[in-house]
Amino acid sequence: MYYIGLDLGTSALKLLLMSGQGEICKIISKEYPISFPKPGWSEQNPVDWWNAAVDGIRELVRDVVDKNQIKGISFGGQMHGLVVLDKDDHVIRPAILWNDGRTAEECKYLNEVVGTEKLSQYTANIAFAGFTAPKILWMQKHEPENFRKIHKIMLPKDYLAYRLSGVFCTDVSDASGMLLFDVEHKCWSEEMLNICGIKREQVADIYESYEAVGTITSEAAGELGLPQNVKIIAGAGDNAAAAIGTGTVGDGRCNVSLGTSGTIFISSKNFGVDENNALHSFAHADGHFHLMGCMLSAASCNKWWMEDIIGTKEYGKEQESVQNLGENHVFFLPYLMGERSPHNDPDARGAFIGMSMDTKRSDMTLAVLEGVAFAMRDSLEVAKSLGIDIKRTTICGGGAKSLLWRKIMANVLNLEVDIIESEEGPGYGGAILAAVGCGEYDSVEEAAKKLVKVVDTVKPDSELVKKYEKRYKIFRQIYPNLKFLYPML
């Protein structure tokens, strides 16, 4: 049997074909454009995602001799994006993405007028600029004609699920990031729907991430060259799917993701809330819950520095000249798109500080990698303050391919970092969810235990940990001292 995992990212759709035994048979990537209409805005056309899915699935299954062996399709998708359809299922406006920062006023209204205490009571979270509910309020205020046309509100991966199955659905992990969802009870919050001026029928039916929502439509099956009995499984938000793909299930497991954004993801059997709401409290794709710290720019910081600033795509070669870890005098704040955890500041911006006449290009490169690690440490410190004791973590995402960055992460976080055989976190997690939804495995935990394999571990070095501890204490003072400047910029 074969299962397809679709990783709907910000820059590309990655498609993965997995056998029932967990072997990755084929991986394909299809890019699509992203637009930034105004500073801090970020949008995409959902139809581009569908076109990428059609082309990608056709190519992915081209060499499968017996298409009847393809049993299920599932997803890991970029979270929080606002996708709106009219009564004829046409996309009303470009999707407003997770890293869009236009909703500062709406977040202020939700957090200060409605109040963080009520928001946390209703949804287990507070308003962040990237979340979906503030975008709905923004649309209501700034695009009232479009707002009145809304028939369906969905998340990015759920648009693909809808086009494939005809079922208006979402899953608990992705819905958790909308600020419309009662995470503890896994249902829509009537209070939040009322606050945002939307009706229950405008939001999707809710499924666990591993549940089948239906089968592929005859129209989609014909377009893709697939049999009509292929099951469509609800799938998960990208971070929850990546956690499945790295075996971060059950209680007290941790995963660090170095993708476009960066996350530290801590799984739990029990529902819990960070009382300061610096970490998100979400449902997990394994049927339980998790806490997550999310920074908006992680590997994207390195891409920006390498390609846009110094003009190279030879990442590995650029890192070869980096030396003297833990002794760098240059610091970098990785807030290129504002920041979420733990600062919740859409106005925050990136900064280099500490340069002198002897600063080299390699020092700046190292500062970018360290800055992302330090910012990730900020969220880990919040978890520690809650009494959560983490000793090791898995790692995934494009940034995790860098041996240097893995070493930096291990020593800045002071955690053992496990390297997984498959680095395709969300896509592999999506394929695993498809296998569970089709009955290949009895549970997500069983599948992850059997399929996810650790092939290497990076252990922290005690001397380097001490050096980075000193540097981190300096780093954490920089943002508070620059914060007052950001609104002026």
Q: Is 456 a catalytic residue?
A: no
Contact 285, 239 (CB under 8 A): no
Q: Report the C-alpha gap between 132 and 200 in whole angstroms.
A: 15
As given in the structure block, the two tokens for residue 238 are 């990208």
pTM of the predicted structure, to 2 decimals: 0.91
Q: How many CB atoms lie within 10 A of CB 464?
A: 18
CA atoms of 307 and 423, how far apart (whole Å): 23
pLDDT of residue 397: 87
How many angstroms separate the Cα of 310 from the Cα of each of 302, 305, 315? 11, 6, 11
Confidence at residue 376, expressed as pLDDT on a 0 to 100 scale: 97
Enumerate residue ranges in the chain where pLDDT < 70: none
**Would you state the pLDDT for residue 330?**
98
Known binding positions for substrate: 79-80
11: left (phi over 0), alpha (psi -120 to 50) or beta: alpha
The distance from CA 93 to its chain's CA centroid, rounded to whole angstroms, is: 22
At residue 272, the pLDDT reads 87
Q: Which of 7, 158, 174, 238 is catalytic?
A: 238
Instruction: Give the span between the Cα atoms of 87 and 424, in whole angstroms.
Output: 36
Domains annotated for the chain, with CATH where assigned, are 2-239 (3.30.420.40)
Q: What's the pLDDT score for residue 464?
A: 98
**pLDDT value of residue 39:** 85
